[in-house]
Amino acid sequence: MDFELSSEQTLLKDSVDRFVKDNYELAARRALVASDLGFSKDNWDLFAEMGWLGLPFSEESGGYGGSNVDVSILMESFGEGLVVEPYMATVLLGGRLVEMAGTADQKETILAAVIEGKMQLAFGYSEPQSRFDLFDVTTTATASGDGYVLNGHKGLVYHAGSADKIIVTARSPGGQRDKAGISLFIVDANTKGLSLKSYRTLDGQRASEVILDGVEVGRDAMLGAEGQAFPIVEKVTDLAIGAASAEAVGAMRRVNQMTIEYVKTRQQFGSPIGSNQVIKHRLADMLIEEEQSKAMSDMAAMRADMAKETRSDDQVQTASATKARIGEAAKFVGEQGIQLHGGIGMTDEYAIGHYYKRLQTIDKLFGNVDYHLRRFSDAR
């Protein structure tokens, strides 16, 4: 048992930190967010070159066999820079689903292309009525000839607009909220009957409402066994919660750094505002929240590494405890970051608000504080 980084992990952290420093000045990020694509293709190519797109996949799958701790290191640094490339959607959601549930053929065609940076994926798991319940699925898959017909509405599908393939959950048998009966389908972006209503999210990312209207897919579009996708979806999203939590830790760290710097320079009543005890104590609490979050994020990654591919007894408790704790911390740190910056913190021009917005979207990703407090206690 230890919390120290290995020398390889230190190298990984240094290279991601360097990428963020070189490419994610606020102005550069602002330009990416305003661009048609919403992120940088050049950055994506660089991710492929650095091996980050294959980081979590096993060597048998053509990846680099990285651990969940490795993924957390990368995501924490991404969080510091508010990186907008679709790493979560393509690698940590789509890619992992394919690796865990896919046939040899699916892995070979899709994962290889993902790792090379030639294919992007999106994952539609929410619906307008599902709120945060992954098993609440009304999208239907009806057997037809040699394949299936999909009908339904997937909400807030991150980066669906730029994805080559969209993976969706759909129900063949069973009721709306049954855990059994859910299947995964891989749908090509240009399939007939698939339409997207795309938009920008609060934190400058891209997402879509995805409408499936009589979408015909072949039998080979199914990912994993029919009707048995839920445990895989839960596993992949619980792992992604760990990664999102690491990202939040990185974002909180930057908020705290910026705020400390600001209160040391901003003068009022003839002295830096940071000389007031009320400000010192607020910042001490912000640091404590960041530190408690870092410990949870590290713990989640290490426990996930111990459990590897299987669903361990504490998977749900670990993910939900981490998400709930970090959601509370992020709310406090983000809000107080703006508060201590005063008027300038309210401007779009200044960085702090952008961090606040990213932290808010992370809270809503895969379930907010309330949702996970509830999931945590129901799992007891």
Which residues of the shown chain bind other proteins in the complex (CB under 8 A)? 1-6, 9, 69, 260, 263-264, 274-275, 277, 279-281, 283-285, 287-288, 291-296, 298-299, 301-303, 305-306, 321, 324-325, 373-374, 376-377
Are 360 and 337 in contact by the 8 Å Cβ rule? The answer is no
Sign of the dihedral defined by the CA atoms of residues 350, 355, 358, 364, in that order: negative
Report the alpha-carbon distance of residue 284 to residue 235 in Å, rounded: 35
Q: How far apart, in Å, do the first and last CA atoms of the chain sit?
A: 25
Q: Which is nearer to other proteins, 93 or 263 (CB)?
A: 263
CB of 305 to other proteins, least distance (A): 8
CB of 277 to other proteins, least distance (A): 7
Q: Which is nearer to other proteins, 284 or 346 (CB)?
A: 284
CB of 233 to other proteins, least distance (A): 23
Q: Which is nearer to other proteins, 207 or 246 (CB)?
A: 246
Extract the tokens encoding 206: 């891209």
Q: Which is nearer to other proteins, 212 or 296 (CB)?
A: 296
Q: Which is nearer to other proteins, 12 or 156 (CB)?
A: 12
Backbone angles phi, psi at 155, to 5 degrees: -100, 150
Q: Which is nearer to other proteins, 122 or 302 (CB)?
A: 302
Report the alpha-carbon distance of residue 163 to residue 123 in Å, rounded: 9
Name the residue with tokens 């007031």: 276
Report the alpha-carbon distance of residue 81 to residue 76 in Å, rounded: 9
Are 164 and 153 in contact by the 8 Å Cβ rule? The answer is no
Are 319 and 299 in contact by the 8 Å Cβ rule? The answer is no
CB of 379 to other proteins, least distance (A): 10
Extract the tokens encoding 303: 């426990």
CB of 243 to other proteins, least distance (A): 15
Q: Which is nearer to other proteins, 192 or 264 (CB)?
A: 264
DSSP state of 35: S
CB of 279 to other proteins, least distance (A): 7
Q: Which is nearer to other proteins, 211 or 299 (CB)?
A: 299
CB of 72 to other proteins, least distance (A): 9
DSSP H or E stretch at residue 167 = strand 165-171
Are 207 and 199 in contact by the 8 Å Cβ rule? The answer is yes
Q: Which is nearer to other proteins, 4 or 42 (CB)?
A: 4
Report the alpha-carbon distance of residue 76 to residue 22 in Å, rounded: 16
Give Dmax over CA atoms of the chain in angstroms. Answer: 79
Listed in order, strand segments (DSSP E) in 259-360 are: 267-268, 271-272
DSSP H or E stretch at residue 189 = none
Report the alpha-carbon distance of residue 329 to residue 313 in Å, rounded: 26
DSSP state of 350: S
CB of 347 to other proteins, least distance (A): 24
